[in-house]
């Protein structure tokens, strides 16, 4: 067993910030499998998901020094991953492709793009990062309150409170 494999995620990110390639390999081994699964639930195209995962860990390599150590590393990686997937979806050609090259756009992909660019997306962007993270984890990712709390590094009761505040603010914004 490599010494890095016993390190916490936070310590691994700190090591990645110092350009430790082995630390990045361990982070990738820990987090890429679940990231692939979660992104696959949002996108029917495995090539786009694979590209988004690779882009995510390139971004982790480049931005590790910017991670502030607040919350869970997994939540930070998820935030990067979903943004990378949205970037991939945005880059899809607008020109119709031949039938053999067409990829079905799932309903979830359409919703994600709508959230990113529609009225809801604008309202979500006006929420504080803490409230937005809870909405993303519970509503968009479908996590339970307990799972969201674990992912975000906060108690389940805090997740519930923040979700109530976020709902109120979103209702006011969208009314």
* This prediction's pTM: 0.61
pLDDT digits (tens, 9 = 90+) for 136-148: 888 877 778 887 7
pLDDT digits (tens, 9 = 90+) for 59-74: 999 999 988 777 788 8
Computed over every residue of the chain, the mean pLDDT equals 82
Instruction: With H, G, I as helix, E, B as strand and everything else as coil, classify residue 77.
Output: helix
Whether 1-91 and 118-175 share one fold: the answer is no
Instruction: With H, G, I as helix, E, B as strand and everything else as coil, classify residue 136.
Output: helix
Neighbour tally for 159: CB within 10 Å: 24
> Tell me, which fold does domain 118-175 have in CATH?
Arc Repressor Mutant, subunit A (1.10.10)
CB 52 within 8 A of CB 88: yes
Token pair 């799972």 is found at 147
List the domain boundaries for the chain: 1-91, 118-175
Rounded CA separation 145/153 (Å): 12
pLDDT digits (tens, 9 = 90+) for 91-122: 766 545 455 444 555 555 566 666 666 787 78
The CATH code of domain 1-91 reads: 1.10.1740.10
DSSP 66: G
Mean per-residue pLDDT for 23-37? Answer: 94
Q: Residue 168: is its pLDDT beyond 90?
A: yes
């Amino acid at each position: 067993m490599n010494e890095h494999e016993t390190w916490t995620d936070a310590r691994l990110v700190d090591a990645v910030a110092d350009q430790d390639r082995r630390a990045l390999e361990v982070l990738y081994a820990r987090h890429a499998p679940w990231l692939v699964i979660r992104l696959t639930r949002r996108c029917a195209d495995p090539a786009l998901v694979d590209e988004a995962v690779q882009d995510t860990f390139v971004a982790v390599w480049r931005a590790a020094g910017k991670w502030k150590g607040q919350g869970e590393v997994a939540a930070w990686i998820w935030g990067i991953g979903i943004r990378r997937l949205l970037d991939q979806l945005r880059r899809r050609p607008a020109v119709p492709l031949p039938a053999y090259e067409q990829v079905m756009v799932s309903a979830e992909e359409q919703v994600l793009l709508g959230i990113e660019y529609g009225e809801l997306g604008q309202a979500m962007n006006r929420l504080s990062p803490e409230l937005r993270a809870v909405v993303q984890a519970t509503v968009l990712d479908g996590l339970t309150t307990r799972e969201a709390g674990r992912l975000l590094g906060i108690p389940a009761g805090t997740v519930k409170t923040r979700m109530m505040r976020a709902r109120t603010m979103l209702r006011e914004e969208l009314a």
